[in-house]
Structure 1
Amino acid sequence: MKKLAFLFIMIGIVLLSIGGYQYFNIQAAEQQAANEANKRLEDSKNQTKDSSSHQRTIENFSPNTGDAVGFLHIPAIEAELPIIEGTDPEELEKGVGHYDTSAYPTENDQIVMSGHRDTVFRSLGEVEVGDTFMVELPYGNFEYEMVDSKIVDADDTSIIQSTAPKEELVITTCYPFSYIGNAPERYIIYAKPIYE
């Protein structure tokens, strides 16, 4: 009986160690992505100051897969999350992934961002209709207001579609939030631009 108890304790220690190691790696990857995004934003501001002919526009913005391009700010949950170009597992470990086939702000189409429910979007379920999101990129800051949400099957890709000429921010994550393992559904937030 003592051997069995010892075995369970050892298994518990190993599992906690693996979980802790993974958590540390994810936190380090997010911090590195945040540093890269801050540098990119700062470089863009400096270029604009140094050259009167250089404008901060979408035309001068062409990120590569894996680049940290900016931040997604969610004031309701006090989140400042790095935006990474691409949505493969490597990108989603660093922050919020931008679907590379979707638009960016000012392109007047659907902007799709995705993240893990157990890392960057842990508290996303607390965001409500009327709450705002701010997308900070090298060519400007863009604000959106949540107008709706829905839950779909995990393999439902119908939410990704052109909305041209109307701009729409779509944020997706796995659902339910407390599910352990591969979640069977996706939680979708729809947000519309706030024009000043």
Structure 2
Amino acid sequence: MGPDALHAALLRPARPSSDYDLNPGQSGPLGRVLRPAAVLVGIQDDRVILTKRSSHLAHHPGQIAFPGGKIDDGDDGPEGAALREAAEEIGLPNSAVTIIGRLPDHETVTGFRITPVLAHVADFTPVAEPGEVDEVFSVPLSWLGDPGNYRVEGRLWRGTFRNFYAAPWGPYYIWGATARILRGLADRL
């Protein structure tokens, strides 16, 4: 799927995205300030680039995620943060990225407002930053773009039962914010 088809998907209506979508009656504390973050939803050769986070990290160890992180003061907005983080985490040079646009912001239960930046990625050789990333891999966009490949699961988290999207693929368990962002893209494809 080329950049034109992905750009057309961005023009279609989208629902808001949050960890609370599948949990009616639950929301974050009133008045809380969300920390801004950005991720790169990189599409290379009709495959979505994902990472397996290092099992040694304090937050979300071993989880499947997009390259990304918090937006720093020196970043040029969400796009700048997503590009910086992708360069740091998987060795993606900025010159290999063509930004298509933004997907809807996603609010997490952990207090972040994530801006997903959708981009076409030219050929490059990924290099996982060992302190943050155990593995870089990709999943076919045709598979992730099918809403039928997502299921709703649940678990107890901090004393509250929470539902979330999951899209297991091979040995990878894609879930939570990553699966929700991908499900939102699938709904628009």
Q: TM-score, normalised by structure 2?
A: 0.28
Q: TM-score, normalised by structure 1?
A: 0.27
**Structure 1 or 2: more strand by fraction:** 2
**Structure 1 or 2: more helix by fraction:** 1
